[in-house]
Structure 1
Amino acid sequence: MDDRLFRNAMGKFATGVTVITTELDGEAHGMTANAFMSVSLNPKLVVISIGEKAKMLDKINESGTFAVNILAEEQQEVSMLFAGQIKEKREADFDRIQDVPVVKDALANIVCKVYSKQVAGDHTLFIGEVQDIILREGTPLTFFEGKYGKIVDRQLT
């Protein structure tokens, strides 16, 4: 099967949008990602998937820590900044939790230390042991078929 067919099929799965952050040599780094999920309740583990060509791969390998920042619907520009879609020079605004940079005003900041990692094809899966969590109220930014979106109706039927 060709790559486009695979990518189109994966795009049919609606996801939230995260920015993965870490710090190396006193400098904060971030990248937009939607490959994130919870793994275990005991211990509390999550997994992120980082491509072999991503600059973030070496940074997490060296720092041993990362944060998953789940973006709110009004944070599309934050996502675009860390996805390299905004070309003008902008400084990101970070808070800090346990010495790890986190995205301000995200719905959730989940701070992790690397628990284990596994190379899988052209990505590395980092399993993170959750060290701290900050939650905020709001509605998530979504991603479907290569486009940002919003949840229109939060009522459950």
Structure 2
Amino acid sequence: MDTRTFRNAMGKFATGVTVITTDIDGEVHGMTANAFMSVSLNPPLVLISIDEKAKMLSKIKKSGRFSVNILSEEQQEVSMLFAGQSSDKENVSFEKRNGSSVIRESLANIICTVYGSQIAGDHTLFIGEVEDVILRDGKPLAFYEGKYSRLTTPQLT
């Protein structure tokens, strides 16, 4: 199996879109990611996966904290900014919560301290213990086959 085939197969799994943020010396750093999952309810734990080449890796190691911002369908440009596909910073607004910067108007902001980490292949898996959660109503931004997408609700007749 070649890398492209594996990548295409993983693209068949539709995901939500998140931006992972952390604060270092008063500056907010972020990256778009869809490798995120819930791990445990008691204690509340989540997992993110960061490429060994990503700048965010050293930043999370240094801060010991991160936030997962689950984006709404109106926040595609925010995702593109933190994926390096845009430079329009005007569309991003942060707020502080428990000493962490989170993206305003996200469907959910999940504030974590690093509970543990594990190197797995060319990524580091960070498990975060959830300290706080902010929830809002709305529809999620989705990602499928390498493209942004929106969920549609079928009409029942």
1:28-107 to 2 correspondence within 5 Å? 28-86=28-86, 88=87, 90=89, 92-107=92-107
Identity, % of aligned pairs? 69
Counterpart CA distance in 1 for 2:25 and 2:133 is: 24
Counterpart CA distance in 1 for 2:103 and 2:81 is: 12
Amino acid at match of 1:73: E
Amino acid at match of 1:113: T
Which contiguous aligned blocks of 4+ residues in structure 1 show a shift greater than 4 angstroms?
A: none
Q: Which runs of 5+ in 2 are unaligned?
A: none
Count of residues in correspondence between the two structures: 156
Deviation at 1:89, TM superposition (A): 5.4
Any idea what SS the aligned residue of 1:59 has? helix
Amino acid at match of 2:43: P
With normalisation by structure 1, the TM-score equals 0.95
Deviation at 1:96, TM superposition (A): 1.1
Counterpart CA distance in 1 for 2:89 and 2:35 is: 25
CA spacing shift, 1:153–1:89, aligned 2, 3 Å: closer
Other-structure match for 1:6: 6
Any idea what SS the aligned residue of 1:152 has? coil
Report Cα offsets for 1:23-49 as digits up to 9, x if no partner. Answer: 011100000000000000110000000
CA spacing shift, 1:103–1:155, aligned 2, 3 Å: farther
Deviation at 1:90, TM superposition (A): 2.5
Counterpart CA distance in 1 for 2:138 and 2:71 is: 9
Other-structure match for 1:146: 146
Q: Which runs of 5+ in 1 are unaligned?
A: none
CA spacing shift, 1:96–1:155, aligned 2, 3 Å: farther
Is the CA contact 2:94–2:102 (under 8 Å) kept in the aligned structure 1? yes
Amino acid at match of 2:100: V
Any idea what SS the aligned residue of 2:89 has? coil
Deviation at 1:69, TM superposition (A): 0.3
Deviation at 1:75, TM superposition (A): 0.3
Other-structure match for 1:22: 22
Is the CA contact 2:81–2:88 (under 8 Å) kept in the aligned structure 1? no
Any idea what SS the aligned residue of 1:79 has? helix
Deviation at 1:116, TM superposition (A): 0.2
Any idea what SS the aligned residue of 1:106 has? coil
